[in-house]
Structure 1
Amino acid sequence: MTLLEAKFHDKRLTMADEVFHQLRTDIITLRLIPGAKISEVEIAKKFGVSRQPVREAFARLSEINFLLIRPQMATRVRKISIPDIKDSRFIRTAVEVEVARRACASIASHDKDALSENLIEQRHIMKHGDFNQFQEVDYTFHQLICNAAGCGPAFRSIEETKSQVDRLCTLALQDIAGMAEIYDDHLQIFEALCARDEEEAVRLIRFHLARLDDTIAKAREYHRDYFED
């Protein structure tokens, strides 16, 4: 047993979680690029653990289509699949539309305050151009809408589908203009929710998620090798 594994008192799944979340972040932020080889031995050495928790983390990453594991061949970071992206967008749209409807009916003053504070944070981060931080507060914005709707668990579904899109956004939106578009969408969605304008909130959610088509086109133009044929 390594020192790091001993720290977790033989809670192997906990160590596997650590490896999984770090590798998932590395893939989303393109520190591990699509198509790159990845080795259980090297990752185990990097984290100071045995291969078992790494193997478990690899299996979980394969299940969410982030790794391509083939017997007798090198494991690779899976390239971006446009069909997977569009399937994820379909599911997310269905969930977020219903969440927006409920939020319009149930949003309370403390929800408005939390969303307003989040938008202030988005604007601050946008001015400094830190896209990774912006992604985090983007996540929180959508989570706060779920909370306002009384549908906190719905965010888990959104989070699962959103992870498929995050690499794409990292490729295409790492500039002030891209963040400004997202911020403006969020601001309008917030205003529609505060006004309890269900029709407008749903329209804005659909429009916001439809931006993905332009994001795909922009990313493929400059990074075609990162996409599956």
Structure 2
Amino acid sequence: MVEFKLQSRLNRDFFMLGTIISLILPLFIQGQPVMAGEPKPIAVREFSLEKRYEDSFVNQVFKDNILLTIKYLSGEKIDPKNIDWNKVETPFEQKIILKSGETFAFHDDVLPEYEGKIAKTTNAHFNSQEGFKSSGFLVGDGVCHLASLLYWIARDAGLETTAQVNHNFANIPEVPKEYGVSIYAYPGRQANDQLQNLYITNTRDREIAFEFKYDGRNLKISAVETL
């Protein structure tokens, strides 16, 4: 009888140990703990800001306009007449969050079906009044590159996207042509503006954070879903 009770206790202890291990083991992937509620990247893409254009002067314009757009996107207060470009070009990490059902538009001149439904924009219009640079033809050169990378990420993440005008009139380095997005925001040209925009709707059940990380050369965007 004593031997039977001892065996039963050992069996119970081994069962409990097995249960504990089965609960803990999934929290460790390749030696790294993954705690419940930790954000989970569902899409990641990046490109170099040193490869936006072959000409070094034009590339710098593209680079600065991309980084300035992200500063506006983050809600940072900017004095357009006194922009500290060294600060703009300093490595950073920023993010925006779309709750389930919320929609982001690249700028605020939106198609009729999106009126009153936009939760976030870049807060910019890519003109000289906002401090954006020109390479000699257009002001705001480069913002289409940022929109295209963001579009690529959103598509990878399975979010609902609308981009009605493709950027197939000019190459966007490191971004496949099918993800090229044309962006345009100019007062008095509403029809063009609305079409040349990017719309992303979070159709997932949880929040999605778009995390922007600039390391001094490369810009990486991650779409991260809360668990």
- Give the TM-score band, short-chain normalised: under 0.3
Higher relative contact order (CA 8 A, sep 6+): 2
Which is richer in strand?
2
Q: Between Structure 1 and Structure 2, which shows a larger proportion of helix residues?
A: 1
Normalised to the residue count of structure 2, the TM-score between the two structures is: 0.26
